[in-house]
Amino acid sequence: MPSVSQQWLLLLLISTVLTVFARADLPGTWELLVQNAGLASMHTAVTRFNTVVLLDRTNIGPSRKMLRRGHCRKDPYDAVLKLDCYAHSVLFDLQTKQIRPLMIQTDTWCSSGQFLPDGTLLQTGGDLDGVKKIRKFVPCEATGSCDWVELADVELANGRWYATNQILPDGSVAIVGGRAANTVEYYPPRKGAVALNFLADVEDNQMDNLYPYVHLLPNGHLFIFANNKAVSYDHNVDKIVKEYPPLDGGPRNYPSAGSSAMLALEGDYSTAVILVCGGAPYGAFIERSTDTPAHGSCGRIIATSPDPVWEMEDMPFGRIMGDMVMLPSGDVLVINGAQAGTQGFEAASNPCLYPLLYRSDQPVGLRFMTLNPGTVPRLYHSTANLLPDGRVLIAGSNPHYFYRFDAEFPTELRIEAFSPEYLSPDRANLRPIFEGIPETVRYGESFDVSVSVPLSVVGVVEVNLGNAPFATHSFSQGQRLVKLAVTPSVPDGEGRYRISCVAPPNGMVAPPGYYMAFAVNQGVPSVARWIHLVS
């Protein structure tokens, strides 16, 4: 008879084998893109040149990437390095996987951002010398020399730390909230900051009104969610026009660390559905309790309904700091985060390695699918961004004030990509390929695209526009997916299909700017082509 130790060893072996098989059966695959990006990305954005801007913060000491010779940051007030020759932002080339250092001068800790209509990345606020700063990054080809520019002739009216940016129908940007900033202001500047008392009303002694969830509704109003409450805000007259019922389950914003996404806009674009999931129980942040279990409750509301109510459901896992990524298919990927604690330094434990797929068209109870787990904990200051090839870029995680590589959850410099099930080899024959698509389209314009598909098309090939949001602190600022009105695919006799599309009707449905256009056949997306939507 085996000894006790042998029995335990046998049980461990069986458990390990079962776990491996269970993981192998779950959808999705992981790929390590870069072993050392040089920095932990607190903020991440994908540009129309298929490069990725990774941005951390200054006043943090050495990163693991040097700036170009002669381009050191000089700051007599920096507590760590008065002369800082380390990069705190880089540009990552998706094709070559090369990383080029970028120069950022002021502190971008917990700042905000959004792309402008011309493709420029607007970046606002931060801490210390960055709290009122406005910065711009004009993307270029990976071989170019584009870099950050800090504007000297304009600054924020209020200091913005933990704020949220949202592009508006006219291409301007609303900058909402922040620590001790219960206001809204705009870029280009309109009339200074405008009081938003709603943010002050929902704040508690945990500050759960930070990084408010802001979504542009197709009626032109802003859906603003903070703590457990939401309002509809008319930015044209700076007035709250609707109050929504509170969402059960406690606070959802920073530092209680839920997440939110607006589901795909489609049909006549009159209906907008908002999803808010996860978070920590009230008090976890105050008590600095790293082992307080996160909850997995989700609320879903039709924000454009005259009588909106929250529909509740539960995720398979309690989760804080989960990132929500709108996939080209219209499903939502929930990834990264932890199952206990809150946002903040040294404040979370029990990493949640299992991504989830939220299938928005399914009934309650059948919407969530558990996906193949990763192996790298992604906690505080991690990000997730949709890539033009349909994968999701995963970066960052630094739950420490400085860079630490000797901790239980070390500063994470690796960049990974997660491939949803629609990219699995057994669906490759369904994947469309764009053969022709215009580079620029105008609102309401009819236009044709041409695609080829290895197998015959079954049903209608969708053409969906996804923008490139600014991902930070478990929320993708400005994220949206718009499904275009299309006609059934028509074969041209040469192995291609012609699809007639109608561009979004106005900037309320899709603000002006660059979008990733995906052809989607039976849930399988093409590699995107960038398209410029203009008025």
**What does the pLDDT read at residue 234?**
98
User: d(Cα 484, Cα 501) in Å, to the nearest integer?
Assistant: 6
User: d(Cα 476, Cα 481) in Å, to the nearest integer?
Assistant: 12
**What does the pLDDT read at residue 280?**
97
Cross-strand pairs, 345: none
Closest C-alpha among 195, 290, 278 to residue 233: 195
> Residue 148 phi/psi, 5° resolution?
-70, 140
Buried b (16+ CB within 10 A) or exposed e, 104-115: bbbbbbbbbbbb
**What does the pLDDT read at residue 459?**
78
User: d(Cα 47, Cα 108) in Å, to the nearest integer?
Assistant: 19
Q: Which long-range contacts (CB under 8 A, 24 or more apart) does 242-246 make?
A: 244/301, 244/303, 244/308, 245/308, 245/309, 245/310
**What does the pLDDT read at residue 434?**
97
**What does the pLDDT read at residue 327?**
98
Domains in the chain, ordered, with CATH? Answer: 29-423 (2.130.10.80), 428-534 (2.60.40.10)
Q: For 260, which DSSP code?
A: E
Cross-strand pairs, 167: 173
Q: Is the dihedral of CA 58, 63, 68, 74 positive or negative?
A: positive
Give me 38's structure tokens.
């040089």
Give me 221's structure tokens.
């109003």
* H/E element, 93: strand 89-93
Amino acid at 34: V
Cross-strand pairs, 340: 293, 349
User: d(Cα 365, Cα 233) in Å, to the nearest integer?
Assistant: 32
**What does the pLDDT read at residue 3?**
46
Closest C-alpha among 513, 408, 530, 477 to residue 166: 477
Give me 280's structure tokens.
């920590």
User: d(Cα 40, Cα 457) in Å, to the nearest integer?
Assistant: 42
Q: Assign residue 94 a region: left if phi > 0, alpha if psi is -120 to 50, beta otherwise? A: alpha
User: d(Cα 383, Cα 394) in Å, to the nearest integer?
Assistant: 6
Buried b (16+ CB within 10 A) or exposed e, 277-306: bbbbbbebbeeebbebebbbbbbbbbbbee
Cross-strand pairs, 46: 52
Residue with tokens 């542009």: 216
Number of other residues whose CB lies within 10 A of the CB of residue 147: 17
**What does the pLDDT read at residue 6?**
40
Give me 278's structure tokens.
């996860």
Q: Which residues contact 329 (CB under 8 A, 6 or more apart)?
A: 422, 464, 520, 523, 524, 525
Residue with tokens 């390990």: 16
**What does the pLDDT read at residue 11?**
32
User: d(Cα 280, Cα 274) in Å, to the nearest integer?
Assistant: 20
Residue ranges of the chain with pLDDT lower than 50?
Answer: 1-22
Give me 130's structure tokens.
């960055």
DSSP characters for 115-137? E-TTSPEEEE--SGGGTT-EEEE
**What does the pLDDT read at residue 24?**
56
Amino acid at 441: V
Closest C-alpha among 345, 344, 366 to residue 357: 366
Q: For 426, which DSSP code?
A: G
Closest C-alpha among 149, 127, 104 to residue 401: 127
Q: Which residues contact 17 (CB under 8 A, 6 or more apart)?
A: none
User: d(Cα 297, Cα 312) in Å, to the nearest integer?
Assistant: 7
> Residue 239 phi/psi, 5° resolution?
-145, 140
**What does the pLDDT read at residue 7?**
34
Residue with tokens 């509301």: 301
Q: Cα 275 from chain centroid?
A: 14
